[in-house]
């Protein structure tokens, strides 16, 4: 069996989901050949830069415009039709990749690619079977196209929207969860991780995924939190934002908070820091949300741009797994929550309840069933 996984670099979540599926398949079946391809890059550098750069610009620089476009294209409007038409213009560029690898099935982690594959099947240019994975906690109409064998959803409540609003056949809908790496659910020792990192396992710990915030905003937020949260410790991860790392390092020196703050650049073991934390301050990307839920880690949402992040935030807040921070009072909200152990414990339990385990494995099993023409319901 040969499986081709298509992803894209519009945010890191699509790529992490694809990588998690790839790793799981390789661990389960030596007879299965699996390959991950960034579809935008396969189409061409100009297209990749236009799509990914355009997404990043709109989401970060003009989020209100992005949010309006997101809502409009979730209905059958002229803009929706124009977006869907433009998404398929480069479909033929993926044929070389498909024909070279000759997959039995493709697993798609981005709606633009789902649209392209659907068109190629409709035109008779390929007969490959396709699974589409929705990597957020609400659906969007751009995912919904003909010729798709299965839709994988982040959580069961999304099923109603696909059936009632988009008219998707319920037999095609599989709420298997968003795929993440096994290491987020594997056993761990909080004491050992804290000892290695120079942290106290008995002190409330706040994890700040700072790389997704603006430099000015996260500096002020950390300053307020560190000043007010005297009996806390902080893990601050800046990702690949070297400028932000330098600014926070300087602020830590000025405040003298080296003893209770662990400042980190890009890390490959973020699960360790999630496991030992009591709360994560972050933006609600679909994969970060799922990884946090897997670790039983409540979320304090610092900001969420209109669109899929706002949808994810709304879901988490409704399910009482997260709080939305006020820009001015956020530090006080976190201190109040950490001083309410019963409320925090309920949030942690709710995170665990919302997490759907074994997503990557079940997606692989679904692919096998589809390829063997078994009934998938």
Tens digits of residue pLDDT in 336-345? 999 999 999 9
Mean pLDDT of all residues in 315-337 = 94
Asked whether the predicted pLDDT for residue 257 surpasses 70, the reply is yes
Question: 178-191 in b/e burial notation, b at 16+ Cβ within 10 A?
Answer: bbbbbbbeeebeee
Rounded Cα distance, 191 and 364, in Å: 35
Is residue 377 assigned to a domain?
Answer: no
State the pLDDT at residue 160: 97
- Do 157 and 229 sit in the same domain of this protein? no
Of 344, 312, 92, the residue nearest 205 (C-alpha): 344
Of 184, 2, 37, the residue nearest 109 (C-alpha): 37
State the pLDDT at residue 377: 43
Mean pLDDT of all residues in 297-323 = 94
Chain position carrying tokens 């759907």 = 356
- Do 337 and 200 sit in the same domain of this protein? yes
Mean pLDDT of all residues in 124-147 = 96
Distant-in-sequence, close-in-space partners of 38: CB < 8 Å, separation ≥ 6: 7, 8, 9, 15, 48
- Do 153 and 27 sit in the same domain of this protein? yes
Mean pLDDT of all residues in 246-261 = 93
The H-or-E segment that residue 264 falls in is strand 261-264
Is residue 221 assigned to a domain?
Answer: yes
Asked whether the predicted pLDDT for residue 228 surpasses 70, the reply is yes
Is residue 157 assigned to a domain?
Answer: yes
State the pLDDT at residue 213: 61
What is the domain extent for residue 163?
2-178+357-371
Is residue 339 assigned to a domain?
Answer: yes
- Do 36 and 161 sit in the same domain of this protein? yes
Kindly report the average pLDDT of the chain as a whole number. 92
Rounded Cα distance, 225 and 232, in Å: 9
Rounded Cα distance, 103 and 371, in Å: 10
pTM: predicted TM-score of the whole model, two decimal places: 0.93
- Do 217 and 257 sit in the same domain of this protein? yes
State the pLDDT at residue 38: 94
Q: Residue 375: pLDDT band by 50, 70, 90 thresholds?
A: very low
Mean pLDDT of all residues in 153-170 = 97
Asked whether the predicted pLDDT for residue 252 surpasses 80, the reply is yes
Distant-in-sequence, close-in-space partners of 279: CB < 8 Å, separation ≥ 6: 204, 205, 206, 207, 297, 298, 299, 300, 334, 337, 338, 344
User: How many distinct structural domains can be found in the chain?
Assistant: 2
Phi, psi of 35 (to 5 degrees): -140, 135
- Do 102 and 72 sit in the same domain of this protein? yes
Q: Report pLDDT digits (tens) over 33-65.
A: 999 999 999 998 888 888 888 887 888 788 899
Kindly tell me the burial class for residue 76, based on how many C-beta atoms sit within 10 Å of its own C-beta (0-12, 13-18, 19 or more): exposed
Of 15, 358, 56, 166, the residue nearest 158 (C-alpha): 166
Asked whether the predicted pLDDT for residue 215 surpasses 70, the reply is no
Mean pLDDT of all residues in 88-102 = 92
Rounded Cα distance, 373 and 64, in Å: 45
- Do 311 and 195 sit in the same domain of this protein? yes
Is residue 112 assigned to a domain?
Answer: yes
State the pLDDT at residue 240: 85
- How far is residue 368 CA from its own chain's centroid? 25
- Do 280 and 160 sit in the same domain of this protein? no
- Do 146 and 29 sit in the same domain of this protein? yes
Asked whether the predicted pLDDT for residue 205 surpasses 50, the reply is yes
State the pLDDT at residue 50: 85
Is residue 268 assigned to a domain?
Answer: yes
State the pLDDT at residue 288: 94
- Alpha-carbon Rg of the chain, whole angstroms? 21
Is residue 337 assigned to a domain?
Answer: yes
- Do 136 and 76 sit in the same domain of this protein? yes
Alpha carbon distance, N-terminus to C-terminus of the chain: 21
State the pLDDT at residue 153: 98
State the pLDDT at residue 376: 44
State the pLDDT at residue 54: 84
Asked whether the predicted pLDDT for residue 219 surpasses 80, the reply is yes
Mean pLDDT of all residues in 173-189 = 97
CATH number of the CATH domain containing 155 = 3.40.50.2000
The string of DSSP letters for 196-238 reads: HHT--TTS-EEEEEGGGS-HHHHHHHHHHHHHH-TT-EEEEE-
H helical segments located in the chain? 13-28, 39-43, 45-61, 63-72, 78-88, 95-101, 111-122, 159-164, 190-197, 215-228, 242-255, 270-276, 286-294, 308-318, 330-338, 341-354, 359-371
Is residue 309 assigned to a domain?
Answer: yes
- Do 137 and 214 sit in the same domain of this protein? no
- Do 75 and 169 sit in the same domain of this protein? yes
Least confidently predicted of 62-66, 201-205, 232-236: 62-66
Q: Report pLDDT digits (tens) over 344-369.
A: 999 999 999 999 999 999 999 999 99
């Amino acid at each position: 069996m040969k499986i081709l996984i298509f992803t894209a670099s519009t945010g890191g979540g699509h790529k992490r989901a694809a990588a998690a599926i790839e790793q799981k398949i390789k661990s389960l079946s030596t007879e299965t050949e699996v390959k991950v391809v960034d579809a935008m890059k396969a189409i061409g550098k100009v297209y990749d830069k236009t799509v990914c750069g355009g997404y990043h610009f709109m989401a970060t620089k003009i989020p209100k415009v992005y949010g309006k476009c997101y809502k409009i294209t979730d209905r059958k409007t002229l803009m929706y039709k124009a977006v869907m038409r433009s998404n398929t213009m480069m479909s033929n560029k993926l044929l070389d990749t498909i024909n070279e690898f000759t997959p039995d099935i493709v697993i798609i982690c981005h709606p633009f690619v789902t649209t392209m594959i659907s068109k190629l099947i409709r035109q008779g240019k390929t007969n490959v079977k396709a699974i589409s994975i929705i990597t957020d906690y609400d659906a969007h109409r751009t995912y919904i196209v003909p010729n798709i064998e299965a839709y994988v959803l982040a959580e069961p409540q999304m099923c109603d929207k696909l059936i009632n609003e988009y008219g998707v056949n319920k037999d095609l809908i599989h709420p298997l969860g968003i795929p993440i790496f096994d290491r987020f659910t594997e056993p761990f020792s909080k004491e050992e991780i804290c000892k290695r990192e120079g942290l106290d396992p008995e002190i409330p710990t706040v994890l700040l995924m700072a790389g997704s915030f603006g430099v000015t905003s996260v500096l002020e937020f950390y300053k307020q939190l560190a000043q007010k949260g005297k009996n806390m410790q902080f893990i601050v991860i800046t990702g690949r934002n070297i400028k932000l790392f330098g600014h926070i390092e300087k602020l830590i020196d000025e405040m003298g908070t080296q003893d209770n703050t662990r400042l980190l650049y890009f890390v490959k073991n973020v699960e360790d820091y999630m496991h030992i934390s009591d709360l994560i301050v972050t933006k609600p990307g679909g994969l970060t949300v799922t990884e946090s839920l897997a670790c039983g880690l409540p979320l304090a949402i610092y900001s969420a741009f209109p669109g899929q992040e706002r949808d994810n935030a709304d879901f988490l807040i409704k399910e009482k797994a997260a709080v939305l921070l006020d820009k001015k009072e956020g530090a006080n909200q976190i201190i109040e929550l950490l001083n309410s152990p019963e409320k925090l414990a309920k949030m942690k339990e709710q995170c665990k309840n919302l997490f759907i385990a074994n997503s990557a494995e079940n997606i692989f099993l679904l692919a096998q069933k589809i390829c063997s023409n078994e009934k998938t319901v």
